Each structure stands twice: as structure tokens, then as C-alpha cells.
Structure 1
């Protein structure tokens, strides 16, 4: 892997509640400079980032019902549609974690089908955020099995705002469960090249991180 290929794994992220135009301008400039796959931002910044990234290959990714997943299906659908209208190329939505904890799997499937179908209709990449730190291993597996059937583009470990982020064990479990039918994104707590490499080796095909530049610097230093 070279630096360009590594950078294309990154969903370069700024999802803080205190985001300003200066923060998002910096994020977009960095993403353009390194050739990231996407900038991960809160929905309100979709139009702004789309304009900043005009004429580049960097996607704009809107985070839906972020980070709690508790907005309700109608609100999530509405936010997804607004984000796409505003120019989002990718949608990362948080599942209703409480419904998963209650094992209301029909709800989780309906939610996933509703949002993924909107994304498909508009040729937008869909990602389903599990927030694994709140789920048991059998619950992670069950949501992954639903995803294997519904076929979003990606399933994702974490928001980065929960009590824990991506773990190798969870990435491996998700990869094994979907059997190549869905890609896996690792996010949350990935701040160095060693951790990033381990996630990629475990099968992650996207990396959500706010430390993209640091990881690339460490990668380059190791290659020398």
C-alpha cells in the first residue's frame, strides 16, 4: 500500500458540536490535500462542504441521527432526504440502539431498509452505524445478519461518541458475519497507524478518523 491508497481509506472526520466554518474549511482542505474518500460531518454542514469540495473526488458524508440514533424513523428518513438534497454523497446513520437492545429486529430491519432504499434511489452510499460499545456480541451479529440481507454499502462499528470505539474483535465479527456481502467501516479511537493497520488487516475497508494526517505521517515515517 502507498500513501495515496491509504488516504483513500479515510473518512476524514469533524463531528464536534462546536464546529465552525473555519473548522469545516480546514477539514475540507485537508481532505483535498491528502485525497481522503470522504469528509464526515453533521448534516447542517452538507451544503457548505459540498461547495468547498466542488471539482474534487472527495465525497461529503452526512451523519444522520448522530450520535444517539434516537430521533425516530420518520425524522431519520427526513434528515436523510434533506442531506441528499443538500448534496451528500454518503449517508452514515445511527441505528436505534434501544430497539436493538430490546431485540426488536423487525424494527431494525425496517429502519435499515427505509434509509438504504432512499440512498440507492439517489445513488448515494449508505453506512449503518451499530455503536458496538452498547451491544452484546450476539446483538452485533444479529444486526450484521440483517445488513447482510438488506445490503447497505457499509456497516460501521461506532460513532466515536459512545463509551468505546472500534475493536479488532468487533471488526472481525462483522466481517465474518456479512461474508463479503457488505463492507465494514471501523471508526472510533483510531488515532495512529498501528491501530489503523490492524483494522485494515482485520478487513475494514473504510476508516473513520479525525487523525488522518497523523496516521499518514506515521505511515510515511515507517516506510522510510
Structure 2
């Protein structure tokens, strides 16, 4: 698989414009990225622009803090899927995780996974590794497996750091092969992406996708 085919071409800045989303879609179609990852308000637009292109439509749920009520996340997901999303990146309730409310977290993931799968869509669960201990990362991964998530994703890009090789190694050890990993946050170069893929990442989320696949720059991500 090419690097481009592993990339979720991402634009989630709060000040992004419609014109930038259209450009994102055009770039994704031109380079063969796996998906575009756009704010929920632009899902329908992206789906229209990328119809029959082979590029998936990804959006975020409960983003970026994760502690929305489960019913709110479910409604967000329903609307996104109705508007054409094919992949949902949902932020786990980190507060609940740290409070030991594992049954509630597992139920939330399972409900959203069931909804996605009815619509032939994928669920990625963002666990925000920067805010978790190694034991909490392992527990979050286990809850994602029990909740039938398709991917576990490292980061929102809004925390103190994004994906690390150590995160990848730990997550890959805990997760079965059937559950894939998305690395995101601070991945700006081809070299950084390739290191994470080698460590276990199946998908890369980045706003620097075009530069990443059109350069041989060997510098590491900031």
C-alpha cells in the first residue's frame, strides 16, 4: 500500500473556510488519499465533491474534548452518516476513563460501532494518548476492542502532543490484528509518517499530506 493510500487528508481548524475544504477534496482526489477528514458541517459538501472518487469521507464526533453526553455523540454520528460520512473519528470520554467508568465507555463505543456498521461505515476511537498513562492506554485499547471499534486513534491534534512511536508499539501489542491504528497529531513529514507506519500505524492523519507525499525530506515531525 502506498503512503498516500494510508492518509486521512485533514482540515479541522476552527477557522477553515469552505474554499479550503473544496481544495482539500481536490487534493485528496488528485493524490489518492484514503479519506478527507473534515468538520461535521462540511461532510455533505465533501461527499458531493468526492462522489465516485474512491476517497472516503471522515469527520469527527465529540471533538476535541470527548465528554459530550453519549446521546449527543450518537446524534452527531447519525447526522454525519446521513450526510455522507464513511468514517467517524470519535473522541473517547477521557474523564470517564480516568474515573473508572469503563462499562459506560464500552457501551458508548459499541453503540456507535453498531450505528456505523449498519451504514457500512468505520468507527475510529480517539483515546488522546498524551493525557493517558501506559496502563490507561492499554485499558482504552481493550475497551475499543470490546466495543467493536474498527480503529483506535492516538490523538485529536489539540493536546500537548500527538502520536509517538512508543504509543504505536504499546497499542500494537495490546490490540488484535483485526483492530487497526490511526496515528495523528504533529505528523508533518514523510519520514515521520513512515516511522509510525513501521511501528504499527495503519492510517496517518495529517494536514501536511501533500507535502508529505511529494517530498523526500528526512526531517522529523515537530
Shorter-chain TM-score bucket reads: over 0.9
Contact 2:47 2:84 in 1 (8 A): yes
1:173-192, aligned counterparts within 5 Å?
Answer: 173-192=170-189
Secondary structure class of the residue paired with 2:214 = helix
Is 1:209 the equivalent of 2:206? yes
Unaligned 5+ segments in structure 1 are none
Report the Cα offset of residue 146 of structure 1.
Answer: 1.5
What is the aligned counterpart of 2:146 among 146, 149, 158?
149
Name the counterpart of 2:134. Answer: 137
1:48-59, aligned counterparts within 5 Å?
Answer: 48-59=45-56
Cα deviation, 1:167-212, whole Å, max 9, x if unaligned, reads 1101111111012130000000100111101100001000000011
Contact 1:151 1:181 in 2 (8 A): no
Q: Distance in 2 between matches of 1:53 and 1:185?
A: 22
Name the counterpart of 1:44. Answer: 41
Cα deviation, 1:43-73, whole Å, max 9, x if unaligned, reads 1110011011112000110111111112110
Instruction: Select the structure that is richer in helix.
Output: 1
Q: Distance in 2 between matches of 1:170 and 1:134?
A: 12
What is the aligned counterpart of 1:20 among 17, 20, 39?
17
1:70-81, aligned counterparts within 5 Å?
Answer: 70-81=67-78
Report the Cα offset of residue 148 of structure 1.
Answer: 2.1
Q: Distance in 1 between matches of 2:134 and 2:176?
A: 17
Name the counterpart of 2:156. Answer: 159
Contact 2:32 2:55 in 1 (8 A): yes
Contact 1:147 1:155 in 2 (8 A): yes
Report the Cα offset of residue 150 of structure 1.
Answer: 2.4
Q: Distance in 1 between matches of 2:26 and 2:178?
A: 33
Q: Distance in 2 between matches of 1:215 and 1:169?
A: 22
Name the counterpart of 1:95. Answer: 92
Contact 1:155 1:182 in 2 (8 A): yes
Q: Distance in 2 between matches of 1:151 and 1:81?
A: 18
Q: Given the two structures, how large is their TM-score scaled by the length of structure 1? A: 0.94
Contact 1:10 1:36 in 2 (8 A): yes
Contact 1:148 1:181 in 2 (8 A): no
Report the Cα offset of residue 6 of structure 1.
Answer: 1.2
Which piece of structure 1 moves more, 143-152 or 37-46? Answer: 143-152
Q: Distance in 2 between matches of 1:192 and 1:39?
A: 18
Secondary structure class of the residue paired with 1:218 = coil
* Residues matched between the structures, number: 218
Q: Given the two structures, how large is their TM-score scaled by the length of structure 2? A: 0.95
Report the Cα offset of residue 149 of structure 1.
Answer: 2.3
Unaligned 5+ segments in structure 2 are none
